[in-house]
């Protein structure tokens, strides 16, 4: 049997849940699929408080946001969700297949599809980077904050972006030692507020440093780090060996864009967005009619903008289905303005630069 919801959403993180909320409230029949054990995506491990304004739940801990997003829709008769359901295909007749509970195949032929699959942690090349004990920093955050299990006693953090900084602080809070944070760039990539917190705890943040190798036979027992020159080459003779039993890689994420490729959406590689992403309109529709993108799947950014993109996509899909949405244009403008505000200033510069490269409106203008 093929189910035919008006809107199918792939991914129950901040973008997918925000999309679901708008589409359900607009009266669409919505099915949301997620491959994890719980809804909320990576919000479930974010024990820190959010920034931004009220619209992004500033001051609320990430872990609380999924229930806020779900509150209005969880019991709605036009909303259905499936966890532990991994999408496995998209076919030319518009059918989406998924495997539920590792057992049964389920099929959907939605009128509109919103892809909010998020992103995957990257790795970097160095000898022994596959040893057990070399973990994604976000994965360690899940292990600690969701399941209460610590990864070891003493760790090395690679990358001083927000994930590297926040996870370093949380490792300390959980009673572990952080030997150092190494960062290849000449400055900290994340917010100063996070960097200051860990600097005050005495964790050295070594900019212009990289990891050369992980040490160990079966599991990590140490790491070799070194300063690098302006061409990112390690300075010979300056290596230091660090004793640690785990290494966290916080070297960025790449968008999970497989479904767009299956659906033959036109793609473009945008370094500022960390990978290959679909072209999209300001209403988040890709070049394949009826397929929308929201959140990190369309370019790695953060949860606040993902929620707003999700809302825009959910809204736009409902409108395209002919649902009556009072004040559509003005509400969309408010969301659009909020996105621009989040991406304003020097911090948002690379995101703005990246988004021009995949904006369909921008592409049309250029031609």
Length of the chain: 367
Cβ atoms of 129 and 220 within 8 Å: the answer is no
Give the residue among 255, 266, 262, 289 at the shortest CA–CA distance from 357.
266
> Between 136 and 275, whose beta carbon lies closer to other proteins?
136
Q: CB 218 → other proteins: shortest distance, Å?
A: 5
Give the residue among 260, 227, 220, 264 at the shortest CA–CA distance from 243.
220
Q: CB 127 → other proteins: shortest distance, Å?
A: 12
Q: CB 37 → other proteins: shortest distance, Å?
A: 6
Burial class for 237, CB neighbours closer than 10 Å (0-12, 13-18, 19+) = exposed
Distance between CA atoms of 151 and 136, rounded to whole angstroms? 11
Q: Which residues on adjacent β-strands are paired with residue 241?
A: 224
> Between 48 and 363, whose beta carbon lies closer to other proteins?
48
> Between 167 and 228, whose beta carbon lies closer to other proteins?
167
Q: Give me the phi and psi of 312, to 5 degrees please.
A: -60, -45
> Between 48 and 341, whose beta carbon lies closer to other proteins?
48
Give the residue among 41, 82, 112 at the shortest CA–CA distance from 263.
112
> Between 28 and 250, whose beta carbon lies closer to other proteins?
250
Distance between CA atoms of 179 and 240, rounded to whole angstroms? 12
> Between 59 and 127, whose beta carbon lies closer to other proteins?
127
Note the residues at the interface with other proteins (CB under 8 A): 35-37, 42, 84, 86, 102, 118, 120-121, 123, 130-136, 138-139, 142-143, 147, 149, 151, 218-219, 256
Distance between CA atoms of 160 and 182, rounded to whole angstroms? 7
Q: CB 15 → other proteins: shortest distance, Å?
A: 15
> Between 29 and 162, whose beta carbon lies closer to other proteins?
162
Q: CB 129 → other proteins: shortest distance, Å?
A: 10
Q: CB 164 → other proteins: shortest distance, Å?
A: 16
What is the enclosing helix (H) or strand (E) of 260? helix 258-262
* Beta strands, E only, 201-290: 205-207, 209-215, 222-227, 240-243, 246-249, 253-255, 267-270, 275-278
Q: CB 307 → other proteins: shortest distance, Å?
A: 19
């Amino acid at each position: 049997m093929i189910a035919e919801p008006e809107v199918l959403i792939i991914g129950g993180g901040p973008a997918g849940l925000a999309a679901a909320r708008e589409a359900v409230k607009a009266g669409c029949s919505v099915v949301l699929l997620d491959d994890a054990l719980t809804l909320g995506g990576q919000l479930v491990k974010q024990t820190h408080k959010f920034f931004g304004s009220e619209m992004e739940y500033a001051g609320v801990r990430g872990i609380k946001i999924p229930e806020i997003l779900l509150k209005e829709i969880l019991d709605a008769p036009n909303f259905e969700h499936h966890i532990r359901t991994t999408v496995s295909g998209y076919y030319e007749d518009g059918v989406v297949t998924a495997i539920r509970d590792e057992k049964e195949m389920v099929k959907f032929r939605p009128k509109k599809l919103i892809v909010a699959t998020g992103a995957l942690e990257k790795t970097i090349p160095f000898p022994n980077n596959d040893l057990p004990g070399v973990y994604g920093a976000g994965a360690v955050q899940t292990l600690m904050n969701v399941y209460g299990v610590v990864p070891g006693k003493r760790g090395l953090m690679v990358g001083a972006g927000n994930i590297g900084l926040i996870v370093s602080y949380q490792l300390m809070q959980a009673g572990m030692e952080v030997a150092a944070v190494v960062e290849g760039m000449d400055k900290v990539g994340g917010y100063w507020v996070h960097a200051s917190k860990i600097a005050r705890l005495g964790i050295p943040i070594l900019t212009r440093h990289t990891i050369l190798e992980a040490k160990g036979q079966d599991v990590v027992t140490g790491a070799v780090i070194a300063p690098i020159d302006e061409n990112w080459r390690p300075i010979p003779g300056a290596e230091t060996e660090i004793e640690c039993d785990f290494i966290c890689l916080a070297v960025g994420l790449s968008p999970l864009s497989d479904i767009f490729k299956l659906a033959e959406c036109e793609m473009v590689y945008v370094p500022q967005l960390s990978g290959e992403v679909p072209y999209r309109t300001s209403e988040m529709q890709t070049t394949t009619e009826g397929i929308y993108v929201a959140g990190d799947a369309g370019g790695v950014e953060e949860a606040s903008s993902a929620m707003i993109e999700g809302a825009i996509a959910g809204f736009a899909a409902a409108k395209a289905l002919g649902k009556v949405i009072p004040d559509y244009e003005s509400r969309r403008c408010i969301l659009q303005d909020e996105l621009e505000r989040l991406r304003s200033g020097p911090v948002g510069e690379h995101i703005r630069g990246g988004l021009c490269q995949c904006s369909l409106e921008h592409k049309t203008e250029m031609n």
